[in-house]
């Protein structure tokens, strides 16, 4: 017993929050790592991951039902007839049909998948958009994205060999319409990626103003993809839901992460588009996969769609409404508390991301804060993303530490 305790203590030092792991060779060390993850969880403030996952009962069901002994795979199109039977396509399709109306898509003209991640959804948006525009114009488009957008968009354009024009953002992190106009080449197709929740500052691109710029060039072929990895989870469940409605904003596809707002406990996401966009993609005629391989990956996770389905039943729209309102109220509370102690900070409207002057390294580490640079807040900054587990009492703990660190 004593030996185990000694080992355990040794390992918790080994696995301190944010420390690099060393070689692990024994199962007690594995348990020590699990204990350390549990200890770090309540202070996980800097990254947009909901740590209040509602999947405990799902795992119980999964093992009780024997599903843990079956190797499932969602290769193929969830909206087509199946070639392979051990999949969860039926759930995947229901999940897409449940969420699509929240983004203003019509279920009669719909296609989508449960993705590996927000990045995977962006990859599909950029790939599908480039294909559509190439068909319309005979050449590849130019991609326009703001310099505050998530880096995955730039990476994916690099990967797909697409020309990118980085549009300047304003102090709040929003793409500047005048700079878009200045950099636009109306002789080529325009693939624009709108950020709905930029990574550092939580900015929402002013889509109506940017669309007004694009409207000046009626001859230009346009595809609009929305990168809404984080905000796409909660905005549809607030009174601001029209801000993400494709009927108002005229976008063709959207990517949302599943592990962020929805709290799925491993990377996943939603990619939603219309049937027309889907039909314009190459199907590669793979006979053994229902002749429909328009998505990028062959094998896809079959468990994530079932987790999404489970959450729709267990949490559902009412639960997500309550959570969305709570995180925005808690964001207001964090801002008010920073204001009270005169700590320089900023936060965009509709955002749950609070940027502030970077505290000392001990606090950055303790609360796993995400760091960046911003001249408006005096250089070194950090942010907190107010997810479901960043409750008022957790905020009180952080503010007390911040005040102490100032003394
Ligand atoms: C998190 C995030 C991404 C990346 O999503 P993953 O699910 O981590 O791949 C892309 N864009 C934005 C705006 C994000 O917040």
Is 255's C-beta closer than 6 angstroms to any atom of ligand 1? no
- Return the minimum-mean-pLDDT range out of 80-89, 100-109, 131-140: 80-89
CA–centroid distance, residue 122 to ligand 1 (Å): 9
Nearest atom of ligand 1 to the alpha carbon of 259 = 7
Check if the beta carbon of residue 173 is closer than 8 Å to that of residue 198. Answer: yes
pLDDT at 288 over 70: no
Strand blocks (E) in 239-375:
253-257, 269-273, 345-347, 353-357, 370-374
Q: What is the mean pLDDT of the chain?
A: 93
The pLDDT value given to residue 378? 87
CA dihedral sign, ordered 89, 308, 150, 204: positive
At residue 2, does pLDDT exceed 90? no
Percentage of residues in the chain having pLDDT higher than 70: 93
Residues 6+ apart with CB under 8 A from 201: 148, 172, 173, 346, 348, 351, 353, 355, 374, 383
pTM for this entry = 0.93
Phi, psi of 193 (to 5 degrees): -110, 115
* Cα–Cα distance, 128 to 100 (Å, whole number): 18
CB of 307 closer than 6 A to ligand 1?
no
Distance 33 CA to ligand 1 centre (A): 26
Q: Cβ(212)–Cβ(244) under 8 Å?
A: no
What pLDDT is attached to residue 19?
A: 66
Indicate if ligand 1 lies below 6 Å from the C-beta of 199. Answer: yes
Pairing of strands 222-227, 253-257: parallel
Over the stretch 152-168, which tens digit does the pLDDT of each residue have? 999 999 999 999 999 99
Closest C-alpha to 168, from 192, 187, 144: 144
| Residues 175/146, Cβ–Cβ less than 8 Å | yes
Least confident of 4-13, 171-180, 342-351: 4-13
The predicted pLDDT at position 338 comes to 98
Residue 12, pLDDT above cutoff 80: no
Please report the pLDDT score of residue 151 as a whole number: 94
- Using alpha carbons, list the distances in angstroms from residue 300 to 69, 85, 295: 18, 14, 10
pLDDT for 4:
40
Non-local (6+) Cβ contacts of 64 within 8 A are none
**C-alpha 8 – ligand 1 centre gap (Å):** 35
Percentages helix, strand, coil for the chain (3-state, rounded to 5) are 45, 15, 40
Residues 330-343 have pLDDT tens digits of 999 999 999 999 99
Tell me how far the alpha carbon of residue 259 lies from the centroid of ligand 1, in angstroms.
10
């Amino acid at each position: 017993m004593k030996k185990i305790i000694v080992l355990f203590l040794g390992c918790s030092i080994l696995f301190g929050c944010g420390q690099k792991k060393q070689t692990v060779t024994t199962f007690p060390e594995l348990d020590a790592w699990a204990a350390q993850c549990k200890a770090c969880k309540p202070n996980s403030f800097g990254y947009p991951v909901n740590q209040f996952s509602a999947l405990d009962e799902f795992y119980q069901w999964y093992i009780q039902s024997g599903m843990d002994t079956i190797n499932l795979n969602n290769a193929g199109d969830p909206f087509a007839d199946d070639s392979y039977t051990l999949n969860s396509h039926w759930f995947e399709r229901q999940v897409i049909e449940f969420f699509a109306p929240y983004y203003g898509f019509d279920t009669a003209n719909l296609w989508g998948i449960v993705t590996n991640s927000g990045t995977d959804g962006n990859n599909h948006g950029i790939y599908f958009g480039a294909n559509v525009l190439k068909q319309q114009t005979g050449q590849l488009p130019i991609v326009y994205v703001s310099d505050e957008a998530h880096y995955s968009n730039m990476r994916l354009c690099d990967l797909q060999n697409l020309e990118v024009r980085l549009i300047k953002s304003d102090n709040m992190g929003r793409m500047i319409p005048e700079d878009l106009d200045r950099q636009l080449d109306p002789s080529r197709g325009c693939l624009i990626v709108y950020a709905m929740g930029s990574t550092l500052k939580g900015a929402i691109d002013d889509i109506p103003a940017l669309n007004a710029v694009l409207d000046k060039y009626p001859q230009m072929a346009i595809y609009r993809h929305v990168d809404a990895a984080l905000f796409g989870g909660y905005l549809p469940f607030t009174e601001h839901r029209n801000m993400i409605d494709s009927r108002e904003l005229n976008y063709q596809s959207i990517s949302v992460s599943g592990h962020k707002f929805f709290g799925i406990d491993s990377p996943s996401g939603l990619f939603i588009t219309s049937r027309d966009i889907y039909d314009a993609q190459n199907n590669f005629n793979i006979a053994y996969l229902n002749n429909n391989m328009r998505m990028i990956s062959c094998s896809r996770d079959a468990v994530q769609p079932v987790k999404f389905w489970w959450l729709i039943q267990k949490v559902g729209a009412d639960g997500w409404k309550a959570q969305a309102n709570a995180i925005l109220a808690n964001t207001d509370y964090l801002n008010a508390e920073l204001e009270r102690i005169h700590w320089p900070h900023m936060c965009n409207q509709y955002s749950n991301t609070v940027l502030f002057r970077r505290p000392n390294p001990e606090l950055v580490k303790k609360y796993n804060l995400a760091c960046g640079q911003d001249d408006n807040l005096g250089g070194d900054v950090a942010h907190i993303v107010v997810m479901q587990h960043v409750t008022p009492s957790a905020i009180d703990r952080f503010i007390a530490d911040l005040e102490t660190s100032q003394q």
